[in-house]
Amino acid sequence: GQNIDQPTEMTATEGAIVQINCTYQTSGFNGLFWYQQHAGEAPTFLSYNVLDGLEEKGRFSSFLSRSKGYSYLLLKELQMKDSASYLCAGIYGQNFVFGPGTRLSVLP
């Protein structure tokens, strides 16, 4: 299978920076998505990486290293509303394979 691995829980302080890591199997890999999911809601799109490097979008950035099978999501200037689960998903063929999600708690 295409195992996607990420930490299940993280805690950070309001205003700080947090990095959520994701590792994946490289065989058949086509690209990587990050989704945000608030409790009781549907996942929503955050970012997409297909080439190596950093993609920046406001307070959120996502990095990909295809050779290492590694990605991270960087959240800057954390706000209380950033408390959510962050899902790493690899594209294999036309299918999305999701990691277990990282539940981020932002504390005041």
- Site residues, other proteins (CB under 8 A): 1, 8, 30-31, 33, 35, 41-45, 48, 50, 87, 89, 91, 93-101
Nearest CA to 13 out of 72, 85, 87, 75 is that of: 75
Quick one: 20 or 89, whose CB is closer to other proteins?
89
As measured in angstroms, the least distance from the Cβ of 13 to other proteins is 26
Task: Judge residue 10's burial from the number of C-beta atoms within 10 Å of its C-beta, 0-12 exposed, 13-18 middle, 19 or more buried.
Answer: middle
Nearest CA to 2 out of 92, 87, 103 is that of: 92
As measured in angstroms, the least distance from the Cβ of 86 to other proteins is 11
Quick one: 39 or 108, whose CB is closer to other proteins?
39
As measured in angstroms, the least distance from the Cβ of 15 to other proteins is 29
The amino acid occupying position 80 is M
Three-state secondary structure call for residue 65:
strand
Quick one: 51 or 108, whose CB is closer to other proteins?
51
